[in-house]
Structure 1
Amino acid sequence: MLICIDGIAVGSYKIEINADHIHFCRFFLLPEHQGQGIGSKVLKRLITLAKDQQLPCKLSHLQGNRVGGLYARFGFVIDDSDSQFVYMSRQ
């Protein structure tokens, strides 16, 4: 899905609904639009969808990416990590 402000694409994300979880991936937001509450709005929609579907959410992000703090504020916890990625979930 594209994230648009005033008709201009500023980011995107993908949601995959699986039998046992919802996978949130490919979340991108142009740097000049970060820190303005857009990511919070996207995550609120994701959490509402997960509640409606009665499924947990899973996601991953690059090591060192500050988006991990945003995910943690929305109740995501770290399940695992490797040299490149952090894997998180929310029940």
Structure 2
Amino acid sequence: MRQRLRDSFSARHTSVIVADGAFAGSVALRPAEDGWWLEHFYLAPDVQGRGLGTVVLRTLLDRTDADGLPVRLNVLRGSAARRLYERHGFTVESEDPIDIYMVRPPGADRDR
């Protein structure tokens, strides 16, 4: 995971997440040829499970929905984050032995 972050980190596309005045995590949303890539979405363990991830993801998806472009991401197999992404309209596009690749068309979770 650390190597993956080192290899693809882009300060230009990364946002720091602050909750209650303290560092709570980070997320990257970078433009891609055919939409957006959501990457490196990390929340500190002490803020997980409180809805912060939902608020951050909803904010980012409102922005990408306005552009009318799909969002892609990859999540580690077995990660609890997959449920968050599925609740927001992401579906499995492909899989490999380590990652599950997901895609979400614009506005996909608006009907839920």
TM-score, normalization by structure 2: 0.77
Note the C-alpha offset of 1:16. 0.2
How many residues align? The count is: 91
Note the C-alpha offset of 1:72. 0.3
Question: In the alignment, which residue of structure 2 is the partner of 1:20?
Answer: 34
Q: Deviations over 1:15-53 (max 9, x none)?
A: 002242111000000111111111101111121111111
The structure number with the bigger radius of gyration is 2
Q: Which amino acid aligns with 1:3?
A: I
The counterpart of 1:71, out of the listed 85, 109, 112, is: 85
Q: Which amino acid aligns with 1:90?
A: R
Identity rate of aligned residues, in percent?
33
Extract unaligned runs of 5+ from structure 1. none
Larger strand percent: 1
Q: Deviations over 1:41-70 (max 9, x none)?
A: 111112111111110000111111100001
Shift >4 Å, 4+ stretches: none
Extract unaligned runs of 5+ from structure 2. 1-14, 106-112
When the two chains are superposed, the root-mean-square deviation of aligned CA atoms in Å is: 0.9
